[in-house]
A = this chain, B = another copy of it.
């Protein structure tokens, strides 16, 4: 059993635990708001605290380009820079270089890529990524990995997976530790056999935790759920499991149900800035005419700063008038909705009611994709009637 993670109680595949870091303890399952460039968009660190976040994610690739790793080191590290005293996990930049497409070139040595800011040529090796995250002083570092886009032939996925494995070995060797955790990243695309292969290899290196990478890259939801389900079964029980880049409310519920402990995703904050606000019955568009005259909060049941202080009518106006404060208030609401959902999931596990919680949530929550919702509802009704 690791001294960096303790599972307190399980309910089916779902787990409630505690993650121990140099900057405090994180109750799991947990969602990490995304501060890509050292700021959760539209919020400051006091805002993030007041929403109830206990851990955030930032990005080595972005921080390396701006303001620069040595600058951050000289300023006392990322925590001091951001004015954030709780845990930080940094992604390695593997996914970002993957997103750059033709602007990046991968060899066994590492990744050469053009900066999205000034076009300058840059290089990242697995060892550099480890060193950078140590200089940043973050609590959890991620290895550099090679992501595969969905639909690639198996041979190509295997090549990327092997590259990921070789880089993972080098990363593990390079990592000094000093209280910092290092997570490996499982690849293998939508192929369950390759995923098993990746788990076998990476667990042999004994990382502090395991991330499920290469999801949410265009694959059908069913592929993601199946992959995550398998991971929930074969990843080492006693290590934290982190599903990267996934964070819609329905996916959080489905994947906590399948045994995931950690999540990050830009979706809640990104859609907030487009005026899409989360409620227990689904996402609503604050620009809808109905909100123009609604003097109550967007969500009656919400205890966030925004809902406690401002009406839906005011938010509707702020968005129509393109007032910057609207983006902040909407972001606060959505992130609070997600963090509250994680708290509720944790309580459901503690009460051995994850099953019921999941069913009820899915019944109430209108997924953004109506077809998905209807099939979910149908399944639920069938189950209800069958039992």
Contacts and interface: CB of A to CB of B under 8 A. Distances in A.
Interface string A34-55: 0001111111111000000000
Interface residues of A, number: 40
Interface string A349-368: 00000000000000000000
Contacts of A325: 39-44, 328
B44 A310 contact: yes
Contacts of A314: 38, 81-83
A324 interface: yes
A52 B326 CA distance: 22
Contacts of A74: 293
Interface of A: 37-46, 66-67, 71, 74-76, 80-83, 292-293, 295, 309-311, 313-314, 316-318, 320-321, 323-329
Contacts of A320: 66-67
A328 B324 contact: yes
Contacts of A66: 317, 320-321
For this chain, the copies found in one complex come to 2
Contacts of A38: 314, 317, 321
A204 B352 CA distance: 78
26 contacts: A37-B321, A37-B323, A38-B314, A38-B321, A39-B323, A39-B325, A39-B326, A41-B324, A42-B325, A44-B309, A44-B325, A45-B309, A46-B309, A66-B317, A66-B321, A67-B313, A67-B317, A75-B293, A75-B295, A81-B313, A81-B314, A81-B317, A82-B314, A83-B314, A324-B327, A325-B328
A324 B36 CA distance: 13
A206 to B, nearest CB: 36
Contacts of A324: 41-42, 324, 327-328
Nearest to A326: B39
A39 B317 CA distance: 10
A295 B75 CA distance: 6
Nearest to A47: B325
Complex A-B, nearest 5 residue pairs according to Cβ-Cβ distance, in ascending order: A42-B324, A39-B323, A37-B321, A67-B317, A44-B325
Given A317-B66, A327-B324, A328-B44, A83 B39 contact: no
A295 B316 CA distance: 38
A259 B42 CA distance: 40
Contacts of A323: 37, 39, 41
A81 B321 contact: no
Contacts of A71: 292-293, 313
